[in-house]
Amino acid sequence: MLQPDTRYKADAEALLALIPATSLATAFFDPQYRGVLDKLVYGNEGERQRERALLPQMDEAQIGRIMHEIGRVLRPSGHLFLWLDKFHLCEGIGTWVTTSGLETVDLITWDKGRIGMGYRTRRRAEYLLVLQKPPKRAKGVWTRHNIPDVWEEKAQRGGTHTHGKPYGLVASLIESTVPVGEFVLDPAAGSFVVREAALAQGRHFLGGDLVYGDAALPESGLALPETAAAVETAKGHKK
């Protein structure tokens, strides 16, 4: 059976297939897309870019299927936090969301506190698109109201993953949207920062990574207990 808090070494779609429909309050997804590397061919990609290009890449259709599955496992009014770079923010992600049933409700800019590459301006930010499964609402499913939409936090230098995301922001969003004792999903977890933040706050983690996980997927899925919060959410949905 799928075990909570385990670092699965698994394909995102195989893992998602083991999770029941409408069972989770929150998911994070940070796709390994080729977008930027394809469009901006740097003469000298540098060590971090070489490291990045070696990771398995997800194509548009695969990202769309993963988004569709995330839409399936989220419960009504559940949130997806989707990491985007400037290229995807500007060019759009229409094909990723088409069949997911998710709708955009907010955007957070992560100010990394130091500049990176760029032909014209040099990048200092990444973006976190906040999507929600209908019905769209904040009451009862977003409990912290002091999270700014520009979040300053230093990127971890020499962290365990070339794309490591900010622990403090991830932890705040989990605290705001995942009731204590419930699960947060990250099917392409990289450094497993979502797991670390979830466990530190008494929440549970479901997720894995094709490269960085270390446990094999079981054959059977997860039997999720019906939590008080899930029942409350379902009641709210019927109103």
Ligand X SMILES: C[S@@+](CC[C@H](N)C(=O)[O-])C[C@H]1O[C@@H](n2cnc3c(N)ncnc32)[C@H](O)[C@@H]1O
Q: Which residues bind ligand X (CB under 6 A)?
A: 11-12, 30, 32, 55-56, 58, 161, 163-165, 187-191, 193, 209-212
Tell me which residue of 206, 139, 128 sits closest to 173, measured CA to CA: 128
Shorter beta-carbon distance to ligand X: residue 78 or 190 = 190
DSSP state letter for 208:
B
Shorter beta-carbon distance to ligand X: residue 99 or 156 = 156
151 with 169: CB under 8 angstroms?
yes
Tell me which residue of 116, 120, 144, 118 sits closest to 130, measured CA to CA: 144
Shorter beta-carbon distance to ligand X: residue 102 or 169 = 169
Tell me which residue of 167, 95, 176 sits closest to 130, measured CA to CA: 176
H-assigned helices in 74-192 = 86-91, 94-97, 167-177
Q: What's the closest the beta carbon of residue 134 comes to ligand X, in angstroms? A: 26
Shorter beta-carbon distance to ligand X: residue 178 or 189 = 189
CA gap 103, 100 in Å, rounded: 9
Q: What's the closest the beta carbon of residue 37 comes to ligand X, in angstroms? A: 12
Q: What's the closest the beta carbon of residue 209 comes to ligand X, in angstroms? A: 5
CA gap 194, 200 in Å, rounded: 10
Q: What's the closest the beta carbon of residue 233 comes to ligand X, in angstroms? A: 26
Shorter beta-carbon distance to ligand X: residue 162 or 227 = 162
Shorter beta-carbon distance to ligand X: residue 209 or 230 = 209
Q: What's the closest the beta carbon of residue 4 comes to ligand X, in angstroms? A: 18
Q: What's the closest the beta carbon of residue 137 comes to ligand X, in angstroms? A: 27
56 upstream amide cis, omega within 30 of 0? no
CA 220, 215, 163, 58 dihedral sign is: negative
